């Protein structure tokens, strides 16, 4: 064991750990969830500290040998498994001070070890004086969480685009499959199954645009604002230098300084905008997922217009039953994202005066939502969408049976007569075509022209 001291007092720590007294104290103070801070936040924080060391050296505030040791320590952490050194619960002290100090202490101890000094000595490199130089939790945490969300959401955008491509492929495959449309969950005029899937693809493309627009808000960074956005203890040239380093390290185009450093700490609007985009995406995806579940319902007593791939047995008591398991999983993920957005909303409005201290919660829910959405989309695409088949016979049967075919007769027979035929068709369980033919209301040529389901799905 080794003994370390902070402004509160002394504590004993295992002598071989890289975290220090403030990290350990926080781990004892917040045994809340057993959930670790998201690995992407840890990675982003480490890269931010690397950029800060370089910027401090460039401005002359940090000696070059100390900068090299800090950079070497961070690179070693990033090349291994840094997560095991971060012991603070995801739900921790406000603003993320514990997380920032966990990062500072781990880097300082490893850097000192590289220079040949013992753990816990904090000489020649100190967690606060050197690793945290020109920084505060109040400008590093909001910067790190925005960068983490930007990094993690790249794959989310890729998966949305991939799903859009899969839906487009299915729209072409099903383009000739005529079926009954439905409004109010009641029979409507015919539509092609491919048209339904093409509409889903359009929605996915719109969601990509929405999330890309939200990601751009995250690119505005308040780093260099220090404690309250006034830049106290920040040397000249530091902000410009660290932004340049962050652009290089994160390979994220468009990173830019906040228009107002105070606002970047008071308000976490960019995180809310991003979370709202995930919420909107989840609501639209829920609608599509539920449509697919409905279209595949049955197979004997439901719509059964599409056939989903079988992924696992669906019942422990009913032999042969197959459920839409992948889509059911998707619903649960989407509901979780909606709940996370509500938590984000409460946290975002809780900012007071110069700082919003609820950032650890914001970061956790944003990154969790991004990750589970990304993973879910990949599974839905590969285990469900790509394997969907059309039940062409069932679709054709519904298209021919729908009484809503009478809508096509409005221009010739009038709305009232078409309504009478609709009621009669439903009452006698006959098709509109049969009734029109029986009553000699149209010629055969008119029937073929006006009541052709395929032509009813195309604009004139």
Which own/partner pairs from 178-181 qualify as long-range (CB within 8 Å, at least 24 positions apart)? 178/395, 178/396, 178/399, 178/453, 178/454, 178/457, 179/305, 179/395, 179/396, 179/398, 179/399, 180/395, 180/398, 180/399, 180/401, 180/402, 180/404, 181/404
Is residue 151 annotated as a catalytic residue, yes or no? no
Question: Cβ neighbours of residue 364 under 8 Å, at least 6 residues apart?
Answer: 35, 37, 38, 90, 91
Q: Which residues of 164-182 are buried (b: 16+ CB within 10 A; e: fewer)?
A: bebbbebbeebeebbbbbb
Among 27, 310, 315, 325, the one annotated catalytic: 315
- The token pair at 32 is 């809340």
Helix (H) or strand (E) holding 182: strand 178-183
Q: Are the C-beta atoms of residues 340 and 277 closer than 8 Å to each other?
A: no
Alpha carbons 413 and 379: distance in angstroms, whole number: 50
ω into residue 124 within 30 of 0, thus cis?
yes
How many angstroms separate the CA atoms of 340 and 380, rounded? 21
d(Cα 201, Cα 72) in Å, to the nearest integer? Answer: 46
3-state secondary structure of 323: coil
Residue pair 204/167 in contact (Cβ under 8 Å)? The answer is yes
Q: Are 225 and 231 in contact (CB under 8 A)?
A: yes
Chain mean position to CA 434: 51
Distance from C-alpha of 92 to C-alpha of 206, rounded to nearest angstrom = 37
- The Cα–Cα gap between 193 and 245 comes to 51
Catalytic residue annotation: 315
């Amino acid at each position: 064991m080794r003994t370390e001291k902070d402004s509160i007092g002394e504590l004993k720590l295992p002598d071989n750990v890289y975290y220090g007294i403030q990290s350990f104290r926080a781990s004892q103070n917040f045994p809340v969830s057993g959930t670790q801070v998201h690995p992407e936040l840890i990675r982003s924080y480490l890269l931010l500290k690397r950029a800060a060391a370089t910027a401090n050296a460039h401005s002359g505030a940090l000696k070059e040998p100390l900068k090299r040791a800090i950079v070497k320590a961070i690179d070693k952490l990033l090349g291994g498994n840094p997560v095991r050194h971060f012991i603070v619960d995801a739900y921790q002290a406000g603003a993320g001070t514990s997380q920032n100090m966990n990062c500072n202490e781990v880097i300082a101890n490893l850097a000192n070890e590289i220079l040949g000094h013992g753990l816990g000595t904090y000489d020649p490199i100190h967690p606060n004086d050197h690793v945290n130089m020109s920084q505060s939790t109040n400008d590093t945490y909001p910067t790190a969480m925005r960068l983490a969300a930007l990094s993690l959401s790249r794959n989310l955008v890729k998966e949305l685009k991939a799903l859009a491509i899969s839906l487009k492929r299915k729209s072409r495959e099903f383009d000739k499959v005529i079926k009954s449309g439905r409004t109010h969950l009641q029979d409507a005029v015919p539509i092609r199954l491919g048209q339904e899937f093409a509409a889903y693809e359009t929605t996915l493309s719109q969601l990509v645009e929405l999330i890309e627009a939200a990601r751009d808000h995250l690119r505005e960074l308040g780093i260099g604002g220090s404690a309250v956005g006034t830049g106290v203890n920040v040397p000249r040239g530091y902000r410009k230098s660290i932004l340049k380093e962050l652009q290089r390290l994160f390979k994220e185009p468009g990173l830019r300084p906040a228009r107002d450093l105070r606002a970047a700490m008071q308000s976490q609007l960019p995180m809310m905008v991003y979370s709202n985009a995930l919420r909107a995406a989840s609501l639209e995806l829920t609608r599509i997922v539920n449509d697919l579940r409905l279209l595949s319902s049955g197979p004997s007593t439901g719509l059964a217009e599409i056939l989903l791939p079988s992924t696992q047995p669906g019942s422990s008591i009913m032999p042969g039953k197959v459920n839409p398991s992948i889509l059911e999983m998707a619903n649960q993920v989407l509901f979780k994202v909606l709940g996370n957005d509500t938590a984000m909303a409460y946290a975002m409005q809780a900012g007071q005066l110069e700082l919003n201290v609820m950032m650890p919660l914001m970061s956790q829910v944003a990154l969790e939502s991004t990750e589970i959405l990304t993973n879910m989309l990949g599974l839905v695409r590969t285990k469900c969408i790509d394997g969907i088949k059309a039940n062409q016979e069932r679709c054709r049967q519904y298209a021919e049976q729908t009484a809503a075919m009478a809508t096509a007769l409005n221009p010739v027979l009038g709305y009232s007569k078409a309504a009478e035929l609709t009621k009669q068709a439903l009452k006698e369980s006959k098709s509109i075509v049969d009734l029109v033919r029986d009553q000699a209301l149209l010629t055969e040529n008119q029937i073929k022209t006006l009541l052709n389901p395929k032509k009813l799905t195309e604009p004139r």
